């Protein structure tokens, strides 16, 4: 019995470690799909979508850990950041896209937390079933669509706030920061939100139940 328990715990650790690594790899792959935009040093990439998916699929703790791993690998000098920004390693965090990158762990955590299938909208901690994050609460088969949409929106808003804050520091002007890092991406972000909500509503319960 003890051997089976140890083996089971080891399997869980292995699955979670693999999930964290795969999450970081997904964001790294999404970073390579980069389209420079005229008038702004911030390119359009699929990274925000990947961050939302990682947070929602892995849950708050594992999603944040995956993004911390991603940043650590990039800071170490591996080519996981967007190639169209000419800054390497730690210097990338001080450039025009650094604020977005630094917001990734927080955004992934918030998406994972808000889309946790163990919580229902409007429930208090006393009435809600114990939240398992990552994982499913007993009897929960699929997440609530409104909760997923709220989590995705909150995560994307945090990414934008991080980027806006960094650009504000660099430009010294809030209007310029918004023009460079927020306004050009709003339309594309609507599409990313729609994709993230659709994917997480379908896949998040099954993925979290195995972590």
Per-residue pLDDT of the chain in tens (211 residues, 90 and over written 9): 556 556 688 888 999 999 999 999 999 999 999 999 999 999 999 999 999 999 999 999 999 999 999 999 999 999 999 998 888 899 999 999 999 999 999 999 999 999 986 544 444 444 444 444 444 444 444 568 899 999 999 999 999 999 999 999 999 999 999 999 999 999 999 999 999 999 999 999 999 988 8
Residue (of 65, 64, 87) closest to 74 by Cα position: 87
Q: Which fold has domain 2-122+130-208?
A: Arp2/3 complex 21 kDa subunit ARPC3 (1.10.1760)
Q: CA-CA distances (angstroms) from residue 188 to 40, 88, 184, 192? A: 15, 26, 8, 6
Give this prediction's pTM: 0.85
Mutual orientation of helices 98-114 and 60-75 as an angle, nearest 10°? 160
């Amino acid at each position: 019995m003890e051997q089976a328990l140890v083996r089971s715990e080891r399997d869980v650790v292995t699955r979670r470690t693999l999930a964290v690594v795969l999450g970081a790899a997904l964001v790294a792959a999404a970073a390579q799909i980069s389209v420079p935009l005229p008038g702004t040093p911030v390119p359009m990439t699929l990274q925000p979508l990947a961050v939302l998916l990682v947070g929602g699929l892995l849950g708050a703790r594992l999603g944040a850990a995956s993004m911390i791993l991603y940043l650590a690998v990039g800071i170490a000098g591996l080519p996981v950041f967007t190639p169209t920004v000419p800054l390497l390693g730690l210097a990338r965090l001080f450039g025009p896209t650094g604020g977005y990158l630094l917001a990734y762990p927080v955004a992934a955590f918030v998406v994972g937390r808000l889309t946790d299938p163990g919580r229902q909208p409007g429930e208090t901690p006393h009435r809600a079933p114990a939240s398992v994050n990552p994982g499913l609460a007993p009897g929960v088969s699929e997440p609530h669509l409104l909760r997923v949409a709220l989590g995705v929106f909150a995560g994307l808003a945090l990414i934008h706030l991080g980027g806006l804050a960094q650009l504000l520091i660099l430009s010294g002007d809030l209007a310029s920061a918004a023009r460079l890092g927020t306004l050009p991406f709003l339309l594309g972000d609507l599409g990313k939100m729609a994709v993230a909500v659709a994917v997480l509503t379908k896949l998040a319960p099954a993925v979290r139940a195995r972590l």
